[in-house]
Amino acid sequence: MQAAFLTAALYQFVDLPDFADLRDPLLACCEANGVKGTLLLAREGINGTIAGPEAGVRAVLDHLRADPRLARLPHKESWSGHPPFHRMKVRLKKEIVTLRVPGLDPSKTVGQYVKPQEWNALLADPDVLLIDTRNDYEVAIGTFQGAVNPNIKTFTELPAWLDAQPALQGEGRKPKVAMFCTGGIRCEKSTALMKMRGFDEVYHLEGGILKYLEEVPPEQSTWQGECFVFDERVSVGHGLAPGPHELCRSCRWPLGPEDKASPHYVKGVSCAHCHDQRSPQEKAALAERQRQVELAEQRGAQHVGARMPEREGG
């Protein structure tokens, strides 16, 4: 199928004291141009992913960049043959990626950016502590060789995990720390947090895992597995080719071929991660939703049950 839908992932930390006033004109622009997805607006900036016809997506990007504060708003592009989103939402938030650390300002201080082509050389330094800042379900399907997995369920748990690490405490010389995430935004905050805590040598992967997979050839890569993404593709590999995963519509865990071979996997109803966490009534309701989804697909229509569960990431 021809790749007719352009996806644009974007974020920028910038002071937007009037962010609430930006919502309605932005939503109207998206709807007028057939663009769908989710955009978050906060005092600290903008974050989100949108998709639609190329001309429509570019019209929304032009609308955003017409604001002088967002004139240099960066974005990443990918293409798909199916619409990645089924709705358009512009939400007002306290933070564009939630960490809940008062006084943290990534627009002023962050770690040192490392380009994808230079990332392997940094990781070859035995003195560098490599930390995956993503959530457990993301790390489960892929990460960099040698990365520490904090086993967090949400990004807001990261500060407490850092507090519990002996190697990151004490008054002596602090270790070199390298951090990475999907698209870069979580690392803006996590490296800003490390700088706030007195770490001098803090690095993060510029453009995130997605930029690394796009630019670094597989034969030179230290990435292992797939990268979870927050749209209907669910996962991507090198060259940003769509991966084999799909979401469990009950618990939102990304499921690979082995997961779907489990006797606990029932499409749209349960998987090995959640089969014992749903009551018979809940499973019956999920089964009916899945039946309606399949009937809608047979008619060539979309059903509300087919929507992508929302998660904050990047």
Other CB atoms within 10 A of residue 19 CB: 19
List pLDDT tens digits, range 22-42.
999 999 999 999 999 999 999
CATH for the stretch 5-92: 3.30.70.100
What angle is formed at CA 186 by the lines to CA 13 and CA 251, rounded to 5 degrees?
130
Closest CA to 123 of 189, 217, 222: 222
Query: Which of the residues in the chain have pLDDT under 50?
Result: 1, 305-309
Closest CA to 264 of 256, 252, 253, 276: 276
Supply 90's token pair: 């512009």
| CATH class of the domain defined by 112-224 | alpha beta
Give the CA distances from residue 75 to residues 7, 11, 35, 64, 109, in Å, rounded to whole numbers and listed in that order: 10, 7, 15, 11, 21
Residues of the chain with CATH 3.30.70.100: 5-92
Active-site residue, selected from the candidate residues 29, 181, 227, 248: 181
Tell me the whole-structure pTM to 2 decimals.
0.88
User: For residue 15, what are the β-bridge partners?
Assistant: none
Active site residue 251: no
CA dist., res. 133 & res. 120, Å (int): 18
Are 189 and 106 within 8 A, CB to CB?
yes
3-class DSSP state for residue 291? helix
In this structure, the strands spanning 235-236 and 227-228 are antiparallel
The reported pLDDT for the residue numbered 309 is 44
3-class DSSP state for residue 110? coil
Residues of the chain with CATH 3.40.250.10: 112-224
Residue that is written with structure tokens 């974007």 in the block: 10
List pLDDT tens digits, range 81-100.
888 888 999 999 999 999 99
The reported pLDDT for the residue numbered 307 is 45
The reported pLDDT for the residue numbered 173 is 83
